[in-house]
């Protein structure tokens, strides 16, 4: 895969030639570029400190060693958190006086991928301006490293996940005692990564009985790590076999989250933010934020509380920016990401689990009955290979012109709202593909909308 550099970080397949994949040389150039950016953003400060972590991929340990070494070679001290979760690292950066953070992960991509997620001193994704600088610096030929007397040092921080979970447990919004009295039995798919460490710690603190599947961290994933129904069939079977009350699945860096009911039926990644937001809004009203590719369910829910809903281009950075602008009480992305700003401004599956359990307390019902209380929408998600980026832009322009009478939204690709649903087409931030999302009040309508747009794109290429 071509090495992709954008607001979501740098990501590619391991091995091959530098600049075409993710190689040791690319990592050295990327981390030294990030170090240069850190110095620019912190003029006059001494004893600069960054936090690093990784998910459970085979390549992670090697990359982590290179990352730490480059930071130290650039004169920056490193707090090495080992195998962790992205939300834990973001929370840790914010609460440990770090100037930046770097998580080694390719998120939901298969195990042959890896990547670098860069965070600022607030534990948030870099701004567009800083990302542009980072990409420019990473492609420069010369790198200036520190002299011997100015080298940074690397120290270990083994309790980051514990401290992050302590912060979740101490959130005022959680009905902690009531959660501990739920007497639930949960099956969780930890996909052989940081969730294998974090989820048991959280559930222990919440007095929830559990069984973890795919818990071994051996460098390989037991299935495609994207938390979709087709990849989670074993979890569904285990829920029914063990007569569990609830199922949980995360991705390798634990920023995406989906739930299953007691019948082994997935609630859908689009609904994670809806359920968690429902509990938050029931306690404190305020604005919510999600992306143009997210279900209308959150919009409907927010309006039902007489609050304001806002949409943004896809990307956590965009959601967080808008959340701050409108002082949102909760937000996220339809891919299973929930952001609760009272903890930190980042997608966090662990706080999402706690908020969902809080909703069960408030509703006093089973998970299968819970989902009947929400609007029924159906989505279709398609992918198309991206061979020519410029050609796709031209195709989008033609579609915008054709549907101009519907005033397409062009903030992020093209979103068109019809009387019976909507469609959103955009270039992916993490893969060389075009994503097509559609939604309607029936699966057949959603399928029809998405397929018609896909065929239209194909006819214009």
Residues 142 and 57: beta-carbon distance below 8 Å: no
Q: At what angle do helices 128-138 and 24-41 cross, to 10 degrees?
A: 130
pLDDT band at 423; cut points 50, 70, 90: very high
Token pair listed for 361: 């307390």
Q: Helix %, strand %, coil % for the chain, to 5?
A: 40, 25, 35
pLDDT, residue 393, reads 86
Residues contacting 46, CB < 8 A, separation 6+: none
Long-range pairs for 128-135 at CB < 8 Å and ≥24 separation? Answer: 128/7, 128/317, 130/37, 130/41, 131/6, 131/7, 133/37, 133/40, 134/5, 134/30, 134/33, 134/34, 134/37, 135/5
The span from the CA of 282 to the CA of 284, in Å, is: 6
Residues 39-70 have pLDDT tens digits of: 999 998 989 999 999 999 999 999 999 999 99
Q: Do 4-157 and 159-376 have matching folds?
A: yes
Q: Mean of the per-residue pLDDT values for the chain? A: 95
3-class DSSP state of 91: helix
pLDDT, residue 459, reads 87
Residues 296-354 have pLDDT tens digits of: 999 999 999 999 999 999 989 999 999 999 999 999 998 899 999 999 999 999 999 99
Token pair listed for 375: 């609007």
Residues 86-122 have pLDDT tens digits of: 999 999 999 999 999 999 999 999 999 999 999 999 9
Of 72-81, 179-188, 369-378, 429-438, least confident by mean pLDDT is 429-438
The CATH homologous superfamily for domain 4-157 is Alpha-D-Glucose-1,6-Bisphosphate, subunit A, domain 3 (3.40.120.10)
Task: CATH number for 159-376: choose from 3.90.1300.10, 3.40.710.10, 3.40.120.10, 3.20.20.70.
Answer: 3.40.120.10
Token pair listed for 37: 């950016």
Q: At what angle do helices 60-73 and 24-41 cross, to 10 degrees?
A: 40
pLDDT, residue 458, reads 87
pLDDT, residue 351, reads 98
| Per-residue CA distances from 92 to 123, 163, 167, 279, 358 (Å) | 8, 8, 10, 25, 24
∠ at Cα 126 (123, 129), nearest 5°?
155
Percent of the chain past pLDDT 70, that is, above it, reads 98
The span from the CA of 250 to the CA of 200, in Å, is: 13
pLDDT, residue 433, reads 82
pLDDT band at 177; cut points 50, 70, 90: very high
pTM greater than 0.85 (yes/no): yes
The residues assigned a catalytic role are 107
Residue ranges per structural domain of the chain? 4-157, 159-376, 378-460
Q: What is the CATH number of domain 378-460?
A: 3.30.310.50
């Amino acid at each position: 895969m071509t090495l992709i550099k954008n607001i979501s970080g740098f990501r590619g397949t391991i091995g091959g030639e530098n600049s075409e994949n993710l190689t040791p040389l690319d990592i050295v150039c990327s981390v030294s570029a990030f170090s240069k950016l850190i110095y620019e953003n912190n003029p006059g400060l001494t004893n600069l400190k960054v936090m690093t972590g990784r998910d459970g991929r085979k390549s992670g340990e090697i990359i982590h060693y290179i990352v730490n070494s480059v930071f130290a070679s650039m004169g920056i001290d490193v707090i090495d958190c080992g195998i962790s979760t992205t939300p834990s690292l973001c929370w840790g950066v914010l609460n440990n006086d770090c100037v930046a953070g770097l998580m080694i992960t390719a998120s939901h991509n298969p195990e042959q991928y890896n990547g670098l997620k860069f965070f600022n001193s607030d534990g948030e994704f870099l701004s567009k301006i800083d990302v542009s600088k980072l990409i420019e610096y990473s492609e420069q030929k010369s790198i200036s490293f520190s002299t011997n007397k100015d080298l940074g040092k690397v120290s270990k921080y083994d309790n980051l996940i514990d401290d992050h979970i302590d912060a979740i447990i101490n959130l005022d919004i959680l009905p902690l005692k009531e959660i501990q009295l739920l007497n639930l039995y949960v099956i969780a798919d930890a996909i052989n990564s940081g969730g294998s460490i974090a989820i048991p710690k959280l559930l222990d603190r919440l007095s929830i009985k559990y069984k973890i599947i795919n818990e071994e961290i051996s460098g390989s994933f037991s299935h495609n790590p994207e938390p979709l129904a087709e990849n989670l069939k074993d979890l569904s079977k285990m829920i029914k076999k063990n007569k569990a009350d609830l199922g949980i699945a995360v991705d390798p860096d634990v920023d995406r989250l989906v739930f299953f009911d007691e019948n082994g039926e997935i609630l859908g990644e689009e609904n994670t933010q809806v359920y968690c937001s429902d509990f938050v809004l029931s306690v404190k009203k305020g604005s919510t934020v999600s992306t143009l590719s997210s279900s209308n369910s959150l919009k409907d829910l927010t309006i039902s509380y007489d609050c304001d809903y806002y949409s943004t281009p896809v990307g956590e950075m965009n959601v967080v920016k808008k959340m701050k602008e409108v002082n949102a009480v909760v937000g996220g992305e339809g891919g299973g990401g929930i952001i609760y700003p009272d903890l930190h401004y980042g997608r966090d599956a662990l706080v999402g689990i706690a908020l969902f359990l809080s909703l069960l307390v408030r509703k006093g019902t089973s998970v299968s009955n819970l989902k009947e209380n929400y609007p029924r929408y159906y989505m279709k998600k398609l992918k198309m290979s991206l061979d020519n980026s410029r050609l796709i832009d031209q195709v989008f322009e033609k579609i915008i012109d054709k549907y101009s009478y519907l005033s397409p939204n062009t903030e992020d690709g093209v979103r068109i709202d019809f009387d019976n649903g909507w469609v959103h087409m955009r270039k992916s931030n993490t893969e060389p593909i075009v994503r097509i999302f559609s939604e309607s009040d029936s699966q057949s309508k959603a399928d029809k909308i998405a397929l018609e747009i896909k065929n239209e794109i194909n006819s214009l290429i």
